[in-house]
Structure 1
Amino acid sequence: MDTMKSLHWFVRAVELGSLSAVAREAATTQPTVSKAIAALERDLGIRLLARTTASLAPTTEGQRFYERARGVLAEFDAAVADARGGTASMHGLLRLNAPVALGQFRLNALVHEFLDTHPGVEIELILNDRMADLVEEGVDVALRLGGALPADAVARHVADSPRWLVAAPGYLERRPAPATPAALADHDYVRFAWLATGNDVTLNDGTRTVSVRTAGRYRVNNALAIRDSLAAGAGIGLCPAWLVDDLLAAGRLRRVLPAWQGEPQALHLLYPGRRYQPVRARALVGFLADRLATLPGFVAPSLP
């Protein structure tokens, strides 16, 4: 039995929740994966996975073994990399999770640059706007913009994006720009749905902080839809610079109340809270940490 391969397939089975998914990832067959894990179970004398026709999950013993097995694989990966000269030996799959708009606008080019540098690495980029469970979904690295961060993950603050009030020239021709934050209440305000603060917007000018109750008929849970709506003249919105800096440069949007801005949107890199990471995951974290703050609309975070 190839123990390291069996360990790897078992770990990926837990993370992907499917032997078929593991087989597709490994370019082999589902029966081959199943036999390898069954042989590992016989060798250990314990049942690692509970299988039904509809689901697959680790047993209590399997979950404990999974946590240790990940560390073993990471240590082995690091040892091989060290013996072969560091990152030159990097290979395997990385699962990267990011918000939809950030992935499409800013992340795609960086991913391809990383892949060009490390030809043995594969990346599966999963774009969604919800907070992924890194362990349950087998995510190696995640990017998150603002909001609360999971307690069971390591979070690294890598960049900030200023947030500005913006509107289209056509809207401002119909509705003159507000002269004070309080005047926002008289405008159509476009915002992200499900915000904990609701219609309340907090702004500061460097010396003062004010809170304004806005009103609007349109709320949406997608940053790209907000961007498009504002450019089409739907109203005023508070947007991070990375989302709208190109529209501002092209004149399709204008700053409103330019002396005022919202709290900067923090960008964090997340990875599972465990001691070891595969070499390729550590390399990706380091690469993104170095590059994200240099992207348009982002700045390096202020020192504490």
Structure 2
Amino acid sequence: MTPRRPSAVRSSDSRACRRAPCGGRVATRAPGPRAPRLSDRNGTDRESDGTSRDDPGASLPLRLAARRLGAVDLGIFAAPNYVAQFGAPRSLADCAKHRWVSFSDLRRLPKELQGPPSPRVSTDDLLLAHGMVRMAAGLAVLPGYLAHEDVLAGRLVRLVPSWKQTVGTLFFVYPPAQHVPRKVTALRDYLVDVIAQRPLALADG
């Protein structure tokens, strides 16, 4: 009998999804000897070559069921106090003139959003960057799920809402079975509920 593989939340971009919105870890790699076949929840199979377009080295087990949780978007955010003092940029070009909190792990951003050569704050800790933006240290590009509650509470504002960048897609991946264990469906349903309350994607501006 082949042992069951553990369930995992899988992202196509490990840098942007380092912390899942539910507070758990995100599994980004799982070994597999050959190309998997992904099944979505409506019974339609989707072929995969076993690699992610964002991470060609990643592989999946032989056959998995995958529930898409959502796309992960980046947006531009700042504290209301910062905007009151320095104004709100109206375009990406305006953003380049502002103070920046730079999260060094972000890649492939437009040049206007890469900040000055010496940003006011530069860090490889996403939560530190988030905290510094809330303290009005400058603008920052943040994942939408991380800023969502702050925007609702008025602690952050989204700037240049016409711009967003999708950096990955989050999936809940688990071994298919005729009777999926209750603990697996409970975790899946919990994640779906959490992400419904704290969306990964940003609204179009």
Range of TM-score over shorter length: 0.5 to 0.7
Verify the 8 A CA contact 1:240 1:264 in the aligned structure 2: no
The answer to whether the 8 Å contact 1:160/1:293 transfers is no
The 1-side partners of 2:172 and 2:9 are apart by 10
Which of 150, 154, 160 is residue 247 of structure 1 equivalent to? Answer: 150
Aligned length: 168
The one of 78, 87, 93 equivalent to 1:176 is: 87
Which position in structure 1 is the counterpart of 2:165? 262
1:194 aligns with 2:105: yes
> Partner residue of 1:70?
3
Task: Measure the CA separation in 1 of the matches of 2:29 and 2:164.
Answer: 32
Cα separation, 2, equivalents of 1:228 and 1:212: 19
Match runs of 1:55-94 below 5 Å: 68-70=1-3
| Structure number with higher helix proportion | 1
1:214 aligns with 2:115: yes
* Native 8 Å contact 1:240 1:265 kept in 2: no
Distance change in 2, residues 1:69/1:172 (3 Å): same
Amino acid at match of 1:296: R
Secondary structure of the 1:235 match is coil
Counterpart pick for 1:294 among 182, 196, 205: 196
Question: Where in structure 2 are there 5+ consecutive unaligned residues?
Answer: 11-16, 33-53
**What is the TM-score when the length of structure 2 is the normalising length?**
0.61
- Contact kept, 8 Å, 2:98 with 2:139, in 1: the verdict is yes
d(CA) in 2 for partners of 1:237, 1:223:
10
- Measured on the aligned residues, the alpha-carbon RMSD in Å equals 3.8
Describe the superposition over 1:96-153 as per-residue Cα deviations: whole angstroms up to 9, x where unpaired.
6686643xxx426xxxxxxxxxxxxxxxx6x3x7x554469xxxxxxxxxx5483225
CA contact (8 A) 1:162 1:297 kept: no
Q: Is the 8 A contact 1:181 1:212 kept in 2?
A: yes
Normalized against structure 1, the TM-score is what? 0.44
Say if 2:75 is the partner of 1:164.
Answer: yes
User: Is residue 2:22 matched to residue 1:107?
Assistant: yes
SS of the residue 1:107 aligns to: coil
- Cα distance in 2 between the residues matched to 1:162 and 1:220: 20
Q: CA deviation at 1:239?
A: 2.1
In the aligned structure 2, how far is the partner of 1:268 from the partner of 1:95? 11
Corresponding position of 2:60: 152
SS in 1 for 2:170: strand
Give % identity.
18
Counterpart amino acid of 1:287? D
Q: What amino acid sits opposite 1:263 in the alignment?
A: T
Provide structure 1 residue ranges, at least 5 long, that are not aligned to the other structure.
Answer: 1-67, 75-93, 109-124, 137-146, 203-210, 300-304
Query: Which amino acid in the other structure matches residue 249 of structure 1?
Result: L
1:36-55 Cα deviation digits (max 9, x unpaired): xxxxxxxxxxxxxxxxxxxx
Contact 2:79 2:135 in 1 (8 A): yes
Contact 1:161 1:298 in 2 (8 A): yes
